[in-house]
Amino acid sequence: MLNPRGVEYYHRLIDALVANGIKPMVTLYHWDLPQALEDEGGWLNESVVQHYQNFADLCFREYGDKVQKKYSVLPLRAGPIIQK
């Protein structure tokens, strides 16, 4: 279910970052699946793929022109690499 207030929050956050000279990098999935999807079996349930695609489509449509670097899934060991 889409939360319009959440969508607007991220628009304001991204705009504030850009206004302060910070280039945002967005990760769509950082090892935290919504509880409702976990309750349905998480990644073992094939329907989660369609939910993820819908989420990704929404994010690219809403924020794609504001964010240059996007990651679909952040690998566990990527933290130290990105910080360099």
* DSSP conformation letters of 6-36: HHHHHHHHHHHHHHTT---EEEEESS---HH
- Read off the pLDDT of residues 37-84 as tens digits, 9 standing for 90 and up: 889 998 899 998 898 888 889 989 999 999 988 777 766 665 555 544
- Provide the pLDDT confidence category of residue 22 given band limits of 50, 70 and 90: very high
User: Whole-angstrom Cα distance, residue 71 to residue 49?
Assistant: 16
Q: What per-residue confidence (pLDDT) applies to 79?
A: 53
- 61 within 8 A of 13, measured Cβ to Cβ: no
Average pLDDT over residues 11-31: 90
Contacts of 25 (CB under 8 A, 6+ apart): 67, 69, 70, 71, 82
Average pLDDT over residues 22-32: 82
Tell me the Cα Rg of the chain: 14
- Read off the pLDDT of residues 1-10 as tens digits, 9 standing for 90 and up: 778 999 999 9
